[in-house]
Amino acid sequence: MILESNHLQSSLAWRTQLLNWYDLNKRDFPWRRFISPYHTWVCEVMSQQTTMAVVVPRFNEFVAKLPNVHALAHASDEELRSLWVGLGYYARARHLRAGAQDIVNRRNGEFPQSYNEWLTVPGVGPYTASVLVSICLDFPKACVDGNVIRVVSRLTGTSAVELWSEKGKASIQSLVDGLIDPVRPGDFNQAMMELGALICRKQSPDCCRCPVQDACLASARNLTTTCPPNKPRAEVRRIQLAALVISSSDSVADHPPEFFLIERQEGFLSGTLGFPLIQHTGPQSLVELCSKLSAIPQVRTVTLHEANVRHTITRNALEVGQIRLTCDARTPQLLAELSRTVEQAQIAAAKQTWVSKKLVSRRVSTALDLKVWEKFS
């Protein structure tokens, strides 16, 4: 894809203006107060698909509890899960820990010193490696995220939908690699992202306050509404689920009710702790399932609550109802019966735990489970 970029390459005054603007206007994020590969890495992984308003408090808590790569490498599943609540995709946290373990075990805790070395760390891809080497090692490698694509699209007046293809992104990467400030590459990358987040916003870019307006073809040609073009729509997958909210009966003497949580073993919630989730095909299948659950000897009551939670994880639109069960005894036989009835081997086989009512919200590790719990309580 050809980008109209001669004006950006022939005069670099816009780059100086961008950096000057960044120096005066950058947001005061905790990971910007002092630069370290560990903090930069953690914040980069946390901020994938999450807003900064969510990330900042979670980041502060994370680095307070796990202040360095050694602490992260030795973090338990439970600790990691509790620090990742609300940040989505727990698998990212596990990959981050796997990377930390690799650095501790294979490199004695020393961070890589080049782009290619970072790429050998498990869980680190080209984008994360670019962030790390440009910010922490002053290596001129461009970071191309959604904000940067939007800014480049407008600076070059490009409205071709091909911009979003792998080829289009490669063209942008190559262009910005050539435009990056060789003295302040990390600041340049952050300035481009900050410009996209604060000024060159998706809706209503604030061109009058933009430090690079003189170099912007979309502004000059009145193309800001068509640059960038809309992304081709990704197909959204509708998934119907029922959460099994299982509690031990409170009528058993000396045993206040406790709730059953499992560590999920598969699917996009793999590794998270929460309520067992059953995929179903509609209300009728749930009614049939409830009737089978009622027949389990240790089960005392079963109530069905149709989809009352909606939750989206990337392209998965989840509609989640609840089947609430109370049972007499927390025995292996009960779990075996439940597992067989809902055809989910992991209920009996996976790591599971019973927790008191007041601990449920602290132990579950996804925003989806918190929503289910809010509806329950």
Residues with catalytic roles: 44
Contact 57, 43 (CB under 8 A): no
Contact window for ligand SF4 (CB under 6 A) among 11-19, 123-131, 156-164, 210-218: 210-218
Radius of gyration of the chain (CA): 25
Nearer to ligand SF4, 196 or 271 (CB): 196
Among positions 99, 140, 185, 205, the unique one binding ligand SF4 when judged by CB under 6 A: 205
User: Can residue 143 be called a binding residue for ligand SF4 (CB under 6 A)?
Assistant: no
Q: Which of 58, 94, 97, 154 binds ligand SF4 (CB under 6 A)?
A: 154
3-class secondary structure for the chain? CCCCCHHHHHCCHHHHHHHHHHHHHCCCCHHHCCCCHHHHHHHHHHCCCCCHHHHHHHHHHHHHHCCCHHHHHCCCHHHHHHHHCCCCCHHHHHHHHHHHHHHHHHHCCCCCCCHHHHHCCCCCCHHHHHHHHHHHHCCCCCCCCHHHHHHHHHHCCCCCHHHHCHHHHHHHHHHHHHHCCCCCHHHHHHHHHHHHHHCCCCCCCCHHHCCCHHHCHHHHCCCCCCCCCCCCCCCCEEEEEEEEEEEECCCCCCCCCEEEEEECCCHHHCCCEECCEEECCCHHHHHHHHHHHHCCCCEEEEEEEEEEEEEEECCEEEEEEEEEEEECCCCHHHHHHHHHHCCCCHHHHCCEEEEEHHHHHHHCCCHHHHHHHHHHC
CB of 307 to ligand SF4, least distance (A): 41
Minimum CB distance to ligand SF4, residue 10 (Å)? 18
From the CB of 120, what's the least distance to ligand SF4, in Å? 36
Is 213 an interacting residue with respect to ligand SF4 (CB under 6 A)? Answer: yes
Q: Which residue among 151, 299, 302, 320 contacts ligand SF4 (CB under 6 A)?
A: 151
Of residues 215 through 274, those in contact with ligand SF4 by CB under 6 A are: 216, 218-219, 224
Q: Which of 72, 93, 210, 342 binds ligand SF4 (CB under 6 A)?
A: 210
Q: Note whether 175 binds ligand SF4 by CB under 6 A.
A: no
Q: Is 122 exposed, middle or buried (0-12, 13-18, 19+ CB in 10 A)?
A: middle
Residue with smaller CB distance to ligand SF4, 207 or 336 = 207
Is residue 212 within the footprint of ligand SF4 (CB under 6 A)? Answer: yes
- Close Cβ partners of 18 (under 8 Å, ≥ 6 residues apart): 188, 191, 192, 195, 211, 212
> In Å, what is the CA distance from 83 to each residue of 113, 260, 365?
28, 21, 8
198/350 with CB nearer ligand SF4: 198
Is there binding between residue 25 and ligand SF4 (CB under 6 A)? no
Nearer to ligand SF4, 154 or 264 (CB): 154
Q: Pick the stretch among 10-18, 122-130, 198-206, 269-277 that binds ligand SF4 (CB under 6 A).
A: 198-206
> Which is nearer to ligand SF4, 36 or 224 (by Cβ)?
224
Query: Minimum Å distance from CB 247 to ligand SF4?
Result: 54
List, in sequence order, every residue forming a beta bridge with 277; answer none if it has no partner.
243
Residues in the interface with ligand SF4 (CB under 6 A) total 15
- Return the number of the residue (58 or 154) whose C-beta is nearest ligand SF4: 154
Q: Indicate the residue among 206 and 250 with the shorter CB distance to ligand SF4.
A: 206
Does position 207 interact with ligand SF4 (CB under 6 A)? The reply is yes
CB 211 to ligand SF4: min, Å: 8
Binder of ligand SF4 out of 56, 199, 262, 286 (CB under 6 A): 199
Q: Say whether residue 323 binds ligand SF4 (CB under 6 A).
A: no
Contact set with ligand SF4 (CB under 6 A): 151, 154-155, 199-200, 205-207, 210, 212-213, 216, 218-219, 224
